[in-house]
Amino acid sequence: MAQILIRQLDDKVVARLKKRAQEHGRSLESEVRMILEEAVPDYEGAWKRIERFHKRLKKSGRSFSDSTELIREDRNR
C-alpha cells in the first residue's frame, strides 16, 4: 500500500482531526484515511456495479425506458 506524508499541516487542523477521530471511535490515521476515501469515490467501480445490476434486471425480463426525451421536454417548458 502507498503512504502519504503531509508536511506543514497546521496544528489546529491536526487537533480538529484528532477530535473528529475520537468522536468516531477511530485513530487519527483511520480517520484521515476515511476522509480521503470519501473525498475520492470509486466512480469507475460504481458504474461497473450499476451495469451488472442492469444486466441482472434485464435478464429478469424488465425493461427500462430512456428518460432523456422527457427531461428535455421538461427543460424546454
pLDDT of residue 39: 95
pLDDT of residue 41: 87
Q: How far apart are CA 52 and CA 60, in angstroms?
A: 13
Band the pLDDT of 77: cuts 50, 70, 90.
Answer: confident
Locate 27 and state its grid cell: 485513530
Q: What is the pLDDT of residues 6-51, one digit of tens each?
A: 999 999 999 999 999 999 999 999 999 999 999 998 999 999 998 9
pTM of the model: 0.60
- Phi/psi class of residue 8: alpha, beta or left (left: φ > 0; alpha: ψ in -120 to 50)? left
Which of 46, 42, 21, 15 has the alpha carbon at shortest distance from 33? 21
Specify whether the CB–CB gap between 20 and 13 falls below 8 A: no
Domain map (residue ranges) of the chain: 11-61
